[in-house]
Structure 1
Amino acid sequence: MKSLLLTFAVAATAGTTFAADPPTPPVLAIGQPVPDFSLKSIDGKTHSLSEYADAKVLCLIFTCNHCPDAIAAAPRMEEIHQAYKDKGVAVVCINSSSPMGLTPDELGYGAHGDTFEEMTPFAKDSGFTMPYLFDGETQTLTAAVGAQSTPHVFIFGADRKLAYTGRMDDAARKKGPVEKSYVKNALDSILAGKPVAEPVTRSFGCSTKWKWKQAWREKDQKNWEAKTVTVDKLDAEGAKKLRANAAGNVRVINFWSTTCGPCVAEFPELVDTYRRFQNRDFDFITISMDPPADEAKVQKFLQKQTCALSDKTKPSVDKEGRKSNNYLFTGDNADKLAEAIDKEWTGAQPHTVVLSPKGEIVWRHEGQVDAVELRRQIVKALEAAGAP
């Protein structure tokens, strides 16, 4: 196992190109013992295998915060925990994803990334009461069992030998009742002292994000930083077109200025949010309220913040006949800008709105935005629009 992890580590630091990906660890075979582990948890404690010695069954669910399959399955994980906790079953969720193995555009289906710090709000959003452990730092346990995707379930009987491995159910990203739960069927069989009818199924979901993929993350970052940032002038008529949202995407518009402290403070999170959702039907527009004479200052700030136009959202810009995602208001009356985009805007900065594909304001916030809440609202708007 140490040699396999060493292969990952070497690959992650050897450069940004590979002849081939490092081998994916094989799935633990039925009948094999549970690997020992000691992992930190969102409850501030370290949880070890010995802690669950008295459980009749140990159910390990390897999952994460970012994957749409894992997000959809999270309430069902808690449901299983509640249904079996008094029957001697210990259900333990483990974040198997390395945050270093993810590029920003892989985070566009939820409000949270896969860092340890983001596990607590994700667990709260998902209603978790079961242990939620972090293996994304070393991925030792993840590699030992060969967790292929998120979620991937491993169930061990009283002898702590593997009795079931695979997916939770056939629901995938669907919400509502589950027609068939492989996990529940396996747990019922083990508790009854019977062999599991289907001991092995395929796990479906986002592939495990291994730490060795850090090289791709670094390459993606360099490519983004190399982009040229542009700024176009905007008048009231142009603002009306932005509000009309002819591109038909979920759109975030942020009003800001270089002399506004909260504006400057929130900007890195806004750019990060844009990069997270760039693969989806989404676009991001900034409107600077600086004096037109300060165009060079605005340009310099935006370049420093790497607020570039993503190649993946450029088609939306082209569709509307625009050239940039950044604007400097040069009209003679800021009231006309407010009337064009958000009549409820008081003029205080920063101010952020989320538009539906039809150009309706579905969320607004005055003052420095909470990035997590903004992402929640974007996800909500995308889901309401039925966006892929």
Structure 2
Amino acid sequence: MRLRTLFLSLIIWGAALGKDSDEHPTLPVGAPAPDFSLKGVDGKTYTLSSFREARVLVIVFTCNHCPTAQAYEDRLIRLTDDYRNKGVAVVAIMPNDPRSVQLSELGYTDMGDSFEEMKRRSAEKHFNFQKPGKIPHTQDTRNAIEALLRGLEPPVATTKVFGCSIKWSEKSDWRIKVREEWASEPVKLDTTDVAGLQALVKNNSDKLRLINVWATWCGPCVTEFPDLVDINRMYRRRDFEFITVSADDPTKKDKALKFLQGEMASAANYIFYIDDKYKIIVDDPAIGRYY
């Protein structure tokens, strides 16, 4: 059951489909529902037999980080409420290994896929089981439930699905590849002036712009910098732009660049030159608020 749902998500990853279809075969229609033993968010451990009293068991494989799953959350809650007193049990299972979720995939969510963060979200795919524990069909959930409650076969055998890829444990190796890609991205440090800073703050682009003013001599700046780099990696595929502005003396440009390279900060990086940097804080509140 888990393999089928997880494999289904990989359909949108065309290049990986052939290999993963061999390693993670889809559970065929009509196959017995395999048992499981999983810890619930309530601290209890559940198995397939925990739901033996249900006439129909709907198992939903979902997760926190996927926008598609999030979009179905309210529908899943309504489905559960509508069939709660009709002998239908709804179970949500989060199948992802949180170590395999990339930072760029966390740019659409307020939480990751760890057990601690897991809450019931929504369905990418539903499996409807009759009481003997067989998978009859996978399709429109409500129609399938109504048919099964009447002892009938669901009218549609299968439906197309969409959503995010399943984060198999072996995908954690991707993090190594991604880090290698980050390391290969060029890191530059350009010089700017007051007019340039004013243009950055004005932001004539259509993107949300995050400007971080920092310096190598600023302890808190150095401490928080890795987190800001992670934020950029999370959101840079969206309408988001991260810009760093070094307040180091321009004679220390090489030192600032070395720091940026060490952090693999491939964002737009600037160092600015002005005789009295504190004067601009007073004269231009728009820039001063970044200090």
Match of 1:327 in 2: 270
- For residues 101 and 346 of structure 1, do their structure 2 counterparts lie closer, same or farther at Cα, with a shift above 3 Å needed? closer
Q: How many residues align?
A: 275
- For residues 21 and 241 of structure 1, do their structure 2 counterparts lie closer, same or farther at Cα, with a shift above 3 Å needed? farther
- For residues 29 and 295 of structure 1, do their structure 2 counterparts lie closer, same or farther at Cα, with a shift above 3 Å needed? same
**C-alpha separation between the residues in 1 aligned to 2:207 and 2:290?**
25
Match of 1:152 in 2: 125
TM-score by length of 2: 0.80
Structure 1 range deviating more: 295-304 or 329-338: 329-338
**C-alpha separation between the residues in 2 aligned to 1:190 and 1:283?**
50
Match of 1:103 in 2: 102
**C-alpha separation between the residues in 2 aligned to 1:45 and 1:334?**
59
- For residues 165 and 45 of structure 1, do their structure 2 counterparts lie closer, same or farther at Cα, with a shift above 3 Å needed? same
Deviations 1:172-226 (A, max 9, x none): xxxxxxxxxx212222222233321123222222232333333433212112123
- For residues 157 and 287 of structure 1, do their structure 2 counterparts lie closer, same or farther at Cα, with a shift above 3 Å needed? same
Q: SS where residue 64 of structure 2 aligns?
A: coil
Radius of gyration: which is bigger? 2
Q: SS where residue 84 of structure 2 aligns?
A: helix
CA contact (8 A) 1:243 1:340 kept: no
Q: CA deviation at 1:236?
A: 2.0
CA contact (8 A) 2:63 2:113 kept: yes
1:54 aligns with 2:12: no
Structure 1 range deviating more: 102-111 or 238-247: 102-111
CA contact (8 A) 1:239 1:341 kept: no
**C-alpha separation between the residues in 2 aligned to 1:338 and 1:224?**
38
Gaps of 5+ in 2: 4-15
CA contact (8 A) 2:281 2:288 kept: no
- For residues 329 and 86 of structure 1, do their structure 2 counterparts lie closer, same or farther at Cα, with a shift above 3 Å needed? farther
Q: CA deviation at 1:333?
A: 3.2
Q: SS where residue 275 of structure 1 aligns?
A: helix
Deviations 1:269-292 (A, max 9, x none): 221121122222322111233444
Match of 2:180 in 1: 222
Percent sequence identity is 40
Match of 1:112 in 2: 111
Equivalences for 1:117-136 in 2 at 5 Å? 117-119=116-118, 123=119, 128=120
Q: CA deviation at 1:303?
A: 2.0
Aligned-residue CA RMSD (Å): 3.1
**C-alpha separation between the residues in 2 aligned to 1:337 and 1:239?**
12
**C-alpha separation between the residues in 1 aligned to 2:283 and 2:142?**
56
**C-alpha separation between the residues in 2 aligned to 1:269 and 1:63?**
27
| Amino acid paired to 1:162 | I
**C-alpha separation between the residues in 1 aligned to 2:28 and 2:222?**
53
**C-alpha separation between the residues in 2 aligned to 1:47 and 1:263?**
46
| Amino acid paired to 2:93 | I
Structure 1 range deviating more: 270-279 or 252-261: 252-261
- For residues 251 and 193 of structure 1, do their structure 2 counterparts lie closer, same or farther at Cα, with a shift above 3 Å needed? same
Deviations 1:329-386 (A, max 9, x none): 4333345358768468273xxxxxxxxxxxxxxxxxxxxxxxxxxxxxxxxxxxxxxx
Match of 1:35 in 2: 34
**C-alpha separation between the residues in 2 aligned to 1:65 and 1:75?**
13
- For residues 338 and 62 of structure 1, do their structure 2 counterparts lie closer, same or farther at Cα, with a shift above 3 Å needed? farther
Q: CA deviation at 1:154?
A: 0.9
Gaps of 5+ in 1: 5-17, 133-149, 167-181, 310-324, 348-388
CA contact (8 A) 1:59 1:89 kept: yes
CA contact (8 A) 1:239 1:337 kept: no
Q: CA deviation at 1:61?
A: 0.9
